[in-house]
């Protein structure tokens, strides 16, 4: 079965720096990869989607890369702010009928 | 973006009772909805796919007789946890792919329901 790995340790960075989160996967060939933000006790909120034929996607301060050879996606937040502190989840799927989630990485941005 | 609501937001019940959780798409129609379960500090685990007008599709290892799903309309799916036990205590979240006028590329999640079984 598919395995999706995100760094379980929290990522602590200083405000203004770039945060980089990693999502690695095995035993799967996704056509789509999504990144979500989840705050404690809340449902995830969609951030970005990238397709298998896309190398990079940007949205404001966010950037996602997708390397199907390495089976890895990187999620970057530039000029990070304390309000960016949350857990970030990656999700993989072959179509929009079903996505599988990683366990998430908690990001702490310190002022 | 589109809004998905869940009710109740939290529920406490006694062991052996059944609990129903509602998931509604407020400003779009959803022929498909998904139900997830999330334990503390763990990932969302897909439990089942709810299909309007047909039977739900359950993921491997999820008991369909314990977790009853009914997709009653294009805006409502319900999850009933039957004969709940303490190990069913979890955070249950539903989601729906965006329907018109929203992008189908995006999944919209409800705020979740915290279930505690005593």
Q: What is the pLDDT of residues B2-55, one digit of tens each?
A: 889 999 999 999 999 999 999 999 988 888 999 999 988 788 999 999 998 889
The closest CB to that of A96, out of B6, B42, B97, belongs to B97
Contacts of A104 (CB under 8 A, 6+ apart): A6, A38, A87, A88, A89, B43
The closest CB to that of B109, out of A4, A44, A104, belongs to A44
Q: What is the pLDDT of residues B53-68, one digit of tens each?
A: 889 999 999 999 999 9
pLDDT tier, B100 (very low <50, low <70, confident <90, very high otherwise): low
User: For residues B102 and A46, which has the higher predicted lDDT (pLDDT)?
Assistant: A46
Nearest residue of A to residue B30, measured between CA atoms: A97
Contacts by residues A6-10 (CB-CB < 8 Å, ≥ 24 positions apart): A6/A88, A6/A89, A6/A90, A6/A102, A6/A103, A6/A104, A6/A105, A7/A105, A8/A103, A8/A105, A9/A105, A10/A105, A10/A106, A10/A107, A10/A108
Q: What is the pLDDT of residues A15-57, one digit of tens each?
A: 999 999 999 999 888 888 999 999 998 999 999 999 999 999 9
pLDDT at B103: 65
User: Does B95 touch chain A if contact means CB atoms closer than 8 Å?
Assistant: yes
The whole-angstrom distance between B80's CA and the closest CA on chain A is 19
pLDDT at A1: 77
């Amino acid at each position: 079965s598919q395995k999706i790995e995100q760094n379980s340790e929290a990522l602590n960075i200083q405000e203004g720096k770039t945060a980089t989160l990693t999502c690695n996967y095995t035993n799967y060939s996704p056509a789509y990869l999504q990144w979500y933000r989840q705050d404690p006790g809340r449902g995830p909120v969609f951030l970005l989607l990238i397709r298998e034929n896309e190398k990079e996607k940007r949205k404001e301060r966010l950037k996602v890369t997708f390397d199907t050879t390495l089976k890895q996606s990187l999620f970057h937040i530039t000029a990070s702010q304390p309000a960016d502190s949350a857990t970030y989840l990656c999700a993989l799927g072959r179509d929009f009928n079903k996505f599988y989630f990683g366990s998430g990485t908690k990001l702490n941005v310190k002022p | 973006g589109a809004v998905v609501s869940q009710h109740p937001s939290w529920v406490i019940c006694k062991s052996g009772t059944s609990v129903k959780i509602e998931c509604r798409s407020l400003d779009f129609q959803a022929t498909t909805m998904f139900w997830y379960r999330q334990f503390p500090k763990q990932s969302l685990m897909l439990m089942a796919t709810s299909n309007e007008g047909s039977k739900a599709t359950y993921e491997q290892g999820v008991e369909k007789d314990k977790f009853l799903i009914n997709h009653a309309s294009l805006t409502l799916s319900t999850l009933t946890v039957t004969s709940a036990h303490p190990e069913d205590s979890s955070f249950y979240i539903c989601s729906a792919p965006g329907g018109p006028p929203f992008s189908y590329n995006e999944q919209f999640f409800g705020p979740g329901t915290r279930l505690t079984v005593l």
